Amino acid sequence: MKAFISVDLEGMPYVVILGQLNLKGSLYEETRKISTQITLIVADELHKNGFEKIIIADGHGPMVNLLVDELPECVEIVRGSLRPTGQVAGAEGCDVAIFLGYHSKFGTVNSTFDHTYSGGSVHKLEINGVEVSEYLLNSYTVGSMGIPPIFMAGDKKLIEDDVKTFTPWVESVALKDSLSRLSAKSPSMKFLEKEIRAAVNKAVINLNEGKVKPLITKEPVKMKLTLRDTQQTDAIALLPFINRLDALTVEYTSENMTEAYKTFQALLFIASGVTNMMRSMT
């Protein structure tokens, strides 16, 4: 069997300041060690449960966060940005999906670093009328490939709001209980390791007993994107397949979730590009 693991950073334990999240951050190396340790615990437990191959997608920012020095032989890692399906690139052909270090969507109260894919561009993303977090966006995408999510570890609010609501069969571990956007309470790593290993074991049992399923949305897929600035919407609305609904909101329709995901990423590059262009004019 082959497992896919998508790794983000904002939902990792102990991560509460911006200096832990970017390449030049004062505590970035700490976050790299934390996220690598969590990921390797999961990979080890999956391997013990019969998964011969584990694909890990490094999924935050420039997507070169995980330390690769001690990767076990059963692991392959996807690194680098600007890839077709972003945080779930490499999932094709896998039997299950796991999401680590995930966080709540933008506008969630008491959720560390709440945002949806791009904090500078996205106010809201809806898939067929459902407002989604990155967890749901990525679960719908792997779901369209027939891959069921079976385990998620991240922010407690994401578990309460999305995991239990939309994927109740998914086992989960709260890596942090956020007190605000920039503060959270987390257990010790030793405690988390016990919880994670037990939850991964239970997730595999659920898989073997046929209690899991892919999260699937109807096709074609209607995507509605609300931007953060009108200049971003102005630029995106120039595309002929885009329908502008108001000052900040656009929508488009794609044949399937993979195409919808690719288009979404392209729109974010446009939004980011126009924002950077305007800043350079000051």
pLDDT digits (tens, 9 = 90+) for 115-133: 999 999 999 999 999 999 9
Out of 3.30.70.3270, 3.40.1360.10, 1.10.20.140, 3.30.1360.130, the CATH code matching 221-280 is 3.30.1360.130
251 three-state secondary structure: strand
Summarised one tens digit per residue, pLDDT across range 24-34 is 999 999 999 99
DSSP per-residue codes, 167-206 = -TT-EEEEEEEEEETTEEE---HHHHHHHHHHHHHHHHHH
- What local confidence, expressed as pLDDT, does residue 210 receive? 98
Question: What pLDDT is recorded for position 15?
Answer: 98
Tell me the average pLDDT across 181-185.
97
Beta strands in the chain (DSSP E): 2-7, 53-58, 75-78, 96-102, 122-127, 130-131, 149-155, 171-180, 183-185, 221-227, 243-244, 249-254
For position 12, what pLDDT does the model report? 98
Q: How far apart are CA 58 and CA 87, in angstroms?
A: 7
3-state secondary structure of 4: strand
CATH topology of domain 2-115+133-208: Rossmann fold (3.40.50)
What pLDDT score was predicted for residue 70? 83
Question: Mean pLDDT throughout 39-51?
Answer: 98
Q: In the structure, what pLDDT confidence band is assigned to residue 282 with cuts at 50, 70 and 90?
A: confident
Distances (CA, A) of 61 to 58, 65, 116, 141: 9, 8, 13, 19
Can you tell me the mean pLDDT for 47-68? Answer: 96
Of residues 238 and 277, the one with the higher pLDDT is 238
pTM, full prediction: 0.96
Residues of the chain with CATH 3.40.50.10780: 2-115+133-208
Phi then psi dihedrals of residue 100, to 5 deg: -125, 140
Q: Which of 146, 6, 152, 166 minimizes the C-alpha distance to 85?
A: 6
Neighbours of 119 (CB within 10 A): 12
Distance between CA atoms of residues 176 and 185, nearest Å: 6
pLDDT of residue 201: 98
CA distance 140 to 262: 13
278: confidence class by pLDDT, cuts 50, 70, 90: confident
Q: Where along the chain do the CATH 3.30.1360.130 domains lie?
A: 221-280
Q: How far apart are CA 59 and CA 79, in angstroms?
A: 8
Q: Report the pLDDT value the prediction gives residue 280, as an integer from 0 to 100.
A: 87
Q: How many CA atoms are closer than 13 Å to the CA of 230, on its beta-carbon side?
A: 2
Q: For residue 238, give the DSSP letter.
A: T
Specify the DSSP class assigned to residue 162: I
Q: How confident is the model at residue 281 (pLDDT cuts 50, 70, 90)?
A: confident
